[in-house]
Amino acid sequence: MTHADDPRLVEAKAIPMANVVDRLGIVGLKRQSGELIGPCPLCGGRDRFGINLRTGAFLCRKCDLRGGDQIALVRGVQGVDFKAALTWLCGNAPAEIDEAERARRRRKAAEAERKQREAQERYRRKAISDARTIWSKARPGHLGVVRAYLQSRGFTEQLLPEIPTALRFIVEHPYVKKIGRELVTVHRGPCMIAGILNPAGELTAVHQTWVDRDPPHSKARIQFEGEDMPAKLVRGSKKAGAIRLSTPPGSEALVMGEGIETTLTAMVVGHYPNAAYWAGVDLGNMAGRMKKVEGRRYSGLPDMSDRDAFVPPDWVKRLVFIMDGDSDPVMTRAKLDCGLRRAMAVRPGLKAQIIHAGAGVDLNDLLMGKADG
Ligand SMILES: [Zn+2]
C-alpha cells in the first residue's frame, strides 16, 4: 500500500489543525484572523511562526520550517518520517484495525471538526454582540474626543467641518486583552469608536482607536509588561464590512483606503466629486482570499469561492482603492489588485483603479496626477 492509499490520510487531514498544535504541545501561539501566530516550536523564533487554520499551511520565517498539512507539521516538529507521523496522529496502520474501528475514528474526527466550527460560530456571535454594546454606549463624534484626535492628525475644522456619523467616542473605554485564559484590562481611557457595517448595513464590528488624554491627543501609548500594544483594535466580525465615512446621495464612485485617516485624507482632498468614502478596515478584508498560483508568492487573483470578502454595493460604477506607502509594496499591490478584480467580476462594467498615498507625499498631488489613469 502506498502512502496515498492509506485511509488514515483522510482521517489525519480531518483533524483540526488547532488540535494537532495542542497535541504536539506547541504553546504561545495567538489566534489572528484565521491564523495561529507565535514562537516557532523548532527554533523558538519569536512571532516568526504561523499556521493558517483553514488551509493547514505553516511557515517559520526564521528556520524555514514549512509544510501544508497535519502530517507535515508532525513530521517537522517531531522529526519523524511520514509513516510515523501518520501513526502518531491516527494510531496503528489500517491493517491492524478493523472497519468498525476506522468508522469510529472517522466519526470522531468529524465530530471534532463540527465542534470546532460551532465554537467559532459562538465566538463570532459573541463578538458581534460585544461590538453592538460598545456602539450603543458611544456618543456622537462631534461632541468630543473624535475632533481632538482628528485635529492631531491634521484634520482641522476647516478641512473637515462635519465629523462623520460613523465616528463616535467613549470617554472611559477599557482596553481588554486576553492573556492566557484571562481577560485583563490593560488600559482605560478616551477612545474613538468607528462603526463597521456589513453589506446589509448592519453593525457587525467596531474599530477602536484609543486616544491620549493629554494634548495633542494623538494615539494613546499602551503598554503591557513593557511591551507596546496596538492602540487600534477591532471587536466583532469585520468580514465584508466597511466604515462608511461618507455616502452622498446619488453617489456612483466609492473611494476606499485601509484606515480611517487615509480615507479621510482622500475625502478632504476631494478629487472625486460626490464620491462615497469608506474605510476598508484592513487589506485582507479589501482583498478577500487570493488564489494560489504555483511559483508566485502573490497571484493578485481573487479566489471567488470566498463569500466573506468585501464587494462594493451595486450603485458603485467606479471603485478606487488607496495604496498606502508604508506597507510591503508587492504584497499590498497584489491584495488591492485581488480586491479590484473580485469587484469587477461581481459588478460587470465597474471601473477600478488604484491611487497611491506615498509616505510623506501630499496625497493631493498624487490624486491629481493619478486619478485619470
Ligand atoms: Zn523556526
Q: What is the pLDDT of residue 104?
A: 85
Please tell me the distance from the alpha carbon of residue 192 to that of residue 185, in angstroms, as a whole number.
17
> CA angle, corner 95, sides to 92 and 100, nearest 5?
85
Ligand 1 centroid – CA 10 distance (Å): 27
So what's the pLDDT on residue 344?
A: 96
Question: 364 C-alpha to center of ligand 1: Å?
Answer: 44
Q: E-strand spans in the chain?
A: 30-32, 35-38, 49-52, 58-60, 66-67, 139-140, 167-179, 182-197, 203-210, 222-224, 227-229, 232-236, 243-246, 253-257, 276-279, 318-324, 351-357
Please give the pLDDT value at position 341. 97
Tell me how far apart the alpha carbons of residues 280 and 309 are, in angstroms, rounded to a whole number. 11
- In the chain, what are the domain boundaries? 3-97, 138-370
Tens-digit pLDDT profile for residues 156-165 = 898 899 999 9
Give the pLDDT score at 47: 76
Ligand 1 centroid to 47 CA: how many Å? 10
> Distance, CA 326 to ligand 1 centroid (Å)?
27
Q: How far is the CA of 50 from the centre of ligand 1 (A)?
A: 10
How far is residue 340's CA from residue 320's CA, in Å, rounded to a whole number? 8
Q: What CATH code would you report for 3-97? A: 3.90.580.10
Q: Classify strands 58-60 and 49-52 as parallel, antiparallel or unpaired.
A: antiparallel
pLDDT at 293: 87
Centre of ligand 1 from the C-alpha of residue 65, in Å: 6
CA of 66 to the centre of ligand 1 (A): 9
Give the pLDDT of residue 154: 87
150 closest CA partner among 271, 259, 47? 259
Query: Ligand 1 centre and the CA of 57: distance in Å?
Result: 14
Tell me, in angstroms, the distance from the centre of ligand 1 to residue 25's CA. 15
Distance 298 CA to ligand 1 centre (A): 22
Q: What is the whole-number distance in angstroms between the Cα of residue 33 and the centre of ligand 1?
A: 21
Q: What is the Å distance from ligand 1's center to 44 Cα?
A: 6
CA 16 to chain CA centroid, Å, is: 21
Distance 42 CA to ligand 1 centre (A): 5
Distance 61 CA to ligand 1 centre (A): 7
pLDDT 10s digits, 172-192? 999 998 877 788 999 999 999
Picking from 9, 29, 33, the residue whose alpha carbon sits closest to that of residue 237 is 33
Question: What is the CA(21)–ligand 1 centre distance, in A?
Answer: 15
Q: Which residues of the chain have pLDDT under 70?
A: 1-4, 93-97, 325-327, 358-373
User: How close is the Cα of 45 to the center of ligand 1, in Å?
Assistant: 5
Q: How far is the CA of 40 from the centre of ligand 1 (A)?
A: 5
Q: From ligand 1's centre to the CA of 39, what distance in Å?
A: 8
Q: How far is the CA of 59 from the centre of ligand 1 (A)?
A: 8
pLDDT, position 304 = 94
pLDDT at position 364, please?
39
Work out the angle at residue 31's Cα, subtended by the Cα atoms of residues 27 and 36, and round it to the nearest 5 degrees. Answer: 60
Cell numbers for 156: 482641522
283 Cα–ligand 1 center, Å = 26
